[in-house]
Amino acid sequence: MKKELRDVPVKKNERMTVTIVDLTYDGRGVAKVDGFPIFIEEGIPGERVQIHILKVMKKFAFAKITSWEEKSEDRVESVEKNLIRTGIAPLHHIKYSRQLEFKQQQVEQAMKRIGGFDNIEVTPTIGMTDPTHYRNKAQIPVRMMGGDVELGFFRKNSHDLIVVEDYLIQDERIDEILLFLKAQLNEFNIKPYDEKQNTGHLKNIVIRRGHYSGEVMVMFVTRKKKIFYLQDIVENLKNEFPDVVSVLQNVQPKATNKVIGDTIYVLYGREYITDELLGKIYRISAQSFYQINTVQAEKIYEKAIELANLKKTDVVLDAYCGIGTIGLSLADKVDTVYGVDVVPEAIDDAKRNAKLNKVDNAIFEVGHADIVLKQWTEEKVKFNVIVVDPPRKGLTEEFITESVELNPEKIIYISCDPSTLARDMKLYAEHGYTASVVSPVDMFPQTTHIECVTVLSK
């Protein structure tokens, strides 16, 4: 290793003064020594800083800031270091207006570097009036530290718990309930999970809150079913917080990174909460996908509807429909919506949501999009609009080919990763489908995540 690193211009534990010249996709500052990049947590372009080199690789190094000689005007001083260390809010040291510019630039770079597009307009990022306390869901590990039950978040790239009480980006009611539960867990001496030994009872607490309804669901993720005093905690919880309408227990006996297991028990109230999105009511179960930021989800759907310029004669395929939020938001503007998803519980919710909102032109089926699609095409269904909202890995080449074979007029693409969006747009362009504009939406302020919406057409 020493021989390989012989020509690297920096050494581990070396201290030096550098100027931050750029930001990486994950929000680290970049400085260069003789062209050699050094990635620096919490650095902002334009700052002159003293650094301590932490780790040296063949092509780059990592460092931390020990002091500032010149600070950026974009710096926010009231910074909670743990929110950066855990990755909860890695950009909250940067002014929000600059965060929005950074995200627009990230999308522009992805379009050019990965997609090879020089002529696509990337609009300014659609932000929030208040970019804090927006998350309607929390998934919090429970561990024993110093003899006390603690809640928090894992340090980046580890399973070392850092205690957090104000998460900055979570709904404030969720934070209140977490503090109450921490006190209850200590009072009743509930034993938290020990990962190394695969012992203990309580692994995680998952909380969801309806942004408009205010309804709260609390789910205890446990290693086994029987937990002494858990029902006492549930009783105290519902008495203290009348807006808690659903308390569940999820049993996850496996030692795995998968947080939620297969078995769910109702300890109190309903097995779901409800909320609104663009005026429609949705039933949300524990395992259903529902957009984390309700306010921004409405903005991204509105932008999709605006860009698509939908017609009353359109027949829409919603290929990753979840509980039906996108399809049902479009339903009153088109002829028919067909939705498909691999999660049976999500499709059950989608069907219930259609009934709940008296939408009779939406059809939902469980299965892989390509298989269900063949069934519908055999039934002579002609789709002229396709909506895709895939996971971070984007679309498969097979799906892109199959979607093109349907010869739709428009493909609405909602993306949670600009890199895979640019890659997929490049593949669509080979089939003659292109876009003139991409609109970033800041679904996750204070973080590096970026949502985008675009419409492809021939």
In whole angstroms, what is the distance from residue 406 CA to residue 165 CA? 50
Question: What size, in residues, is the chain?
Answer: 458
- With 0-12 / 13-18 / 19 or more C-beta atoms within 10 angstroms meaning exposed / middle / buried, residue 107 is buried
For 104, other C-beta atoms within 10 Å of its C-beta total 19
CA 161 to chain centre: 21
Half-sphere exposure of 372 (CA within 13 A, CB side): 17
In whole angstroms, what is the distance from residue 76 CA to residue 35 CA? 29
Can you read off the two tokens belonging to residue 434?
Answer: 């292109």
Is 160:199 a contact under the CB 8 Å cutoff? no
Residues 6+ apart with CB under 8 A from 149: 142, 143, 182, 185, 186, 190, 192
Residues forming the active site: 416
Cα torsion 79, 174, 393, 105 to 10°: value is -40
In DSSP terms, 397 is beta-bridged to none
Is 195:203 a contact under the CB 8 Å cutoff? no
